Structure 1
Amino acid sequence: KLPYQPPNSDGWSYHKDSPQSLPPTKSLRFLNKACIIQNPKDLTADGIATDPWSLCTVEQTEELKALIRVLPLWSSGIMMSINVSQSSFPVIQASTMDRHMGSSFQIPAGSFAFFTIAVIALWVILYDRVIIPFASKIRGKPVHLGVKLRMGIGLVFSTMAVVVSAIVEHARRKQAIKQGLLNNPQAVIAMSAMWLIPQYCLHGLAEAFSAIGQNEFYYSEFPKSMSSIAASLFLLGMAVANLLASLILSTVERVTRNGGKEGWIATNINQGRYDSYYWVLAIMSFVNLFYFMACSWAYGPCVDDTAKNEPKTSDSIDTIEELQRARSVVVERQSLFKSLPS
């Protein structure tokens, strides 16, 4: 077992550029062995590692630590993306409901996602330009919502969205059965499709809080050398969420079809039990909230929490600019993904 490096002693650690760099941190200290020089033969005469696979720089070790530390919180955000990826079901629901606004105009079934994008854009504008300045003026000091708090609020909104989806679908199916349309999934029932708007708005709030919060969290926690990883980590979560959503859907369909019965995810939406499927997602989302809280507690304070109480320096200004760039990037990406066909 290697002893921990004494303070102010850089002789044991391998630094690529400057030997006066900071020593490795104590977090995940079992990884520090990768950057500790155990034998002078590990370095060439020029101070370069003879085998980069057996001796890493402190910077590389700390980058790996940063990535490992955020993975639990990253995984807790996948559930929100799973809920958002169920975009085809509301389209099917809307196609069986009255989508008229007024006497002549009818909203296309696939255009209800506009409300999600509108809520995201509206919230970003209000948060930066109205809510935060107004709250700061009332309290007499700068007000700031931490990134982990925003991520948690986003997960709460995501859970609320699937709960509302389940309630609305239960009411829609009940009306279809009441009107004798159980075997006619193409018929339009006497129920306004505007009842779908709340769930779209809640999904928009969930993404506005959690998605943007996640991106700002990654940008603030990773060193600048990992900016590309920070930019792609949220998209990786969306990709994993799509795979898991397919797995959950196929599993629910297979389990509920036992005994030759009609599964929950039936071709005929009136005969299926899409509301029960939404409740499954709601339960998973509720459990995920506790998982997120555990991960957040285990992670401890993040850079965003400690930096807000410190005076602004050139480095902090650069960090703020990066966070603002991350926020604009995620809004653009969300708009792009929402514009793609389901």
Structure 2
Amino acid sequence: MEYVLSTLISLLFGHIKPKSELKRKTHTVTKKMVMETDNEENPRKGGLRTMPFIIVNESFERLSSYGLEPNMIIYLMTFYQMSAATGTSILGIWTALSNGLAILGAIIADSYLGRFKVVAIGSFSTLTGMIILWLTAMIPQLKSSPCSQFQHVCNGATSVQLAVLFSSFGFISLGAGFIRPCSIIFGVDQLAKKENPDNQRLIDSYFNWYYASIGISTILAVTVVIYIQDRYGWQVGFGIPVILMFLSVSMFLIGSPLYIKVKAKESLFIGLLQAVVAAFRKRNTSLPLTDCDDCYHRPHESELLAPSNDFRSLNRACMIQDPQRDLNPDGSASNSWSLCSVEQVESLKALLRVLPMWSTGIMIFLTSRQFSFSVLQAKTMDRHILPQFEIPAASFSVFLVIAMTIWIIFYDLVLVPLLSKYTGRPRGLTPVIRMGIGLIVSCMSMGLSAITESIRRQRAIQEGHEDDPSALVNMSAMWLVPQYIVLGVAQGAHSVGHIEFFYSLLPKSMSSIASAMSTIGTALSCLAASILVSGVDWLSSTGGKTSWLSSNINRGHLDYYFWLLTLLCSVNFLYFLLVCRFYEPGNDGIDRLSNEVEEKECDYRLLPEC
């Protein structure tokens, strides 16, 4: 579900800016990409004719992947005899792996293999994982038999069965990590041609079509694909993503002769790592008492003469000890893992400065990891909206997407013009204030979840369903909609503010790092959610008591768990207020963002892809 949220935020936030600003931002990325492809492009390659292959590849990958996770908790509990807590933890690790591998995919593409090869490898990996997952539904020996209501002891999945299942998750995660950070930039490679005078308009149009197609794929995944799984079973429900992914791979490879394939170059991620390693290697070296022009390594075109004084121990990374040993005749570093430039060190410091504020966002992503339990709730409630149609339990997350979409559009088109008159800021409220609003509203959503579950559980017990978790409670599943709507508003308010905050405080050269931080935050939140679920399940079941997160949610206490999340959200908000004290008002996020619009050239800041 985190993929869905980041995609919709990218789709909406990426294109709500004024066209004049967007035009300025695309100028530099066009210029940069033209410089990269000058020596490698063929005039007969690239261009608009490659766009259908790239967009279809990414859209079908999203459509097939996004339709798997929401219902996966039901599949794990039914055919692998997993408890609700175990299944939720595994799904959290799966999502964390997919997001974490996106960083690896970006590094490999930038520094070693190039974007075409990485996207191709990722596409085949995703297809392989989906085929394996589909085979688990097709071949009875690859999963355990479902338990009947008359069985007191069920046979769990064997080690081989679990190995097959987890291998499918691994291949899908690897594929997502390789495709998503590279696909959109690979498309820019095709349009950034030197002889094309209309690069800016083409790239603007490409971004519009790219995000729009992914947005449509996202909605179809959480509605149509999930409905097929509920209506026609797992064999068909998992088979559809296989077909879609096969078409995705085929389309991408068919366009191969037409692509401009930019060679790999050094990655900014590697540059930051080199600064850390170089500083560690020189940890026992004394820093010069006064700065001098020859003390620190800097390229000839650099405007920075010396590093700043904060995080001063990192200055050792760019300190020249022996010019004859440390430098080549042309002035470059002889060993980039022992000597870095001043720019590399300052980029690392900029990243360290925003880490405290970045850490406050992990909790709000963690709250969205509770959808597996919400699916179990919806399964026990009346989901009919028409006599002949009921909403699939896993499709209720579409209300979150709708709420987030409406909020972002409403804020941009209605609130920004009103608030900007009073605040004097182009975006109305500062990013920090919007982040704070999102954190508060997320606390409210968890409180609503706790109240709704308490009512549902009480009714289930009153109706005699305490020992029958599959029984339908006389309660409409529409009771779940308010918590989704409130969380959607929270995600919309917080995430866009989060993005603007990073882009305003980090140097323009680190725009890719700003995008990556959202991905890393999602990965860590998924991992934290898995640890939290496992810990709560273990602690609440000590002494032979029924776990709060029991698979029989009528006997468990999901409401207690949601109250715990409400408390954690509140503590996180207090931590957020503490962190805010360390950021000066002039650095609260929007000041540099608005100032950069005035510059002649501005990097186009790509939004989170994973």
SS in 2 for 1:55: coil
Give the equivalent residue in structure 2 for 1:313.
598
User: Residues 223-302 of structure 1: matches in 2 within 5 Å?
Assistant: 223-300=507-584, 301-302=586-587
Counterpart CA distance in 2 for 1:169 and 1:90 is 9
Note closer, same or farther for the CA distance 1:143–1:4 as it changes in structure 2 (3 Å cut): farther
Give the equivalent residue in structure 2 for 1:29.
312
The CA deviation at 1:286 is: 1.1
Amino acid at match of 1:83: T
| Contact in 2 for aligned 1:76/1:288 (Cα 8 Å) | yes
Note closer, same or farther for the CA distance 1:270–1:113 as it changes in structure 2 (3 Å cut): same
Moved more, 137-146 or 216-225: 137-146
Moved more, 28-37 or 16-25: 16-25
Counterpart CA distance in 2 for 1:309 and 1:223 is 14
SS in 2 for 1:101: strand
| Contact in 1 for aligned 2:382/2:472 (Cα 8 Å) | yes
Aligned: 1:183 with 2:464: no
| Contact in 2 for aligned 1:163/1:282 (Cα 8 Å) | yes
Give the equivalent residue in structure 2 for 1:90.
374
Aligned: 1:16 with 2:296: no
Note closer, same or farther for the CA distance 1:26–1:266 as it changes in structure 2 (3 Å cut): same
| Contact in 2 for aligned 1:69/1:299 (Cα 8 Å) | no
SS in 2 for 1:298: coil
Task: Among all aligned residue pairs of Structure 1 and Structure 2, give the percentage whose two residues are the same amino acid.
Answer: 42
The CA deviation at 1:132 is: 0.6
Q: Deviations over 1:27-46 (max 9, x none)?
A: 22222232233444333332
Counterpart CA distance in 1 for 2:582 and 2:322 is 35
Note closer, same or farther for the CA distance 1:214–1:20 as it changes in structure 2 (3 Å cut): closer
Amino acid at match of 2:517: L
Q: Compute the TM-score of the two structures, normalised by the length of structure 2.
A: 0.49
The CA deviation at 1:86 is: 0.8
Note closer, same or farther for the CA distance 1:19–1:116 as it changes in structure 2 (3 Å cut): closer
Amino acid at match of 1:314: E
SS in 1 for 2:589: helix
Note closer, same or farther for the CA distance 1:311–1:243 as it changes in structure 2 (3 Å cut): closer
Give the equivalent residue in structure 2 for 1:196.
480
Aligned: 1:99 with 2:99: no
Note closer, same or farther for the CA distance 1:282–1:138 as it changes in structure 2 (3 Å cut): closer
Note closer, same or farther for the CA distance 1:19–1:176 as it changes in structure 2 (3 Å cut): closer
Determine which structure has the larger helix proportion and give its number: 2
SS in 2 for 1:167: helix
Counterpart CA distance in 2 for 1:118 and 1:138 is 29
**Matching residue within 372, 375, 397 for 1:113:** 397
Aligned: 1:209 with 2:532: no
| Contact in 2 for aligned 1:10/1:20 (Cα 8 Å) | no
Note closer, same or farther for the CA distance 1:141–1:254 as it changes in structure 2 (3 Å cut): closer
Note closer, same or farther for the CA distance 1:202–1:22 as it changes in structure 2 (3 Å cut): farther
Aligned: 1:146 with 2:424: no
Q: Which ranges in structure 2 are unaligned for 5 or more consecutive residues?
A: 1-285
Note closer, same or farther for the CA distance 1:20–1:222 as it changes in structure 2 (3 Å cut): closer
Aligned residues: 323
| Contact in 2 for aligned 1:5/1:12 (Cα 8 Å) | no
**Matching residue within 58, 61, 74 for 2:345:** 61
SS in 2 for 1:113: helix
Moved more, 47-56 or 181-190: 47-56
SS in 2 for 1:112: helix
Amino acid at match of 2:306: P
The CA deviation at 1:168 is: 0.8
| Contact in 2 for aligned 1:97/1:188 (Cα 8 Å) | yes
Moved more, 81-90 or 296-305: 296-305
The CA deviation at 1:251 is: 0.9
Give the equivalent residue in structure 2 for 1:304.
589
Q: Which ranges in structure 1 are unaligned for 5 or more consecutive residues?
A: 334-342
Q: Deviations over 1:116-142 (max 9, x none)?
A: 111111122112222111333577874
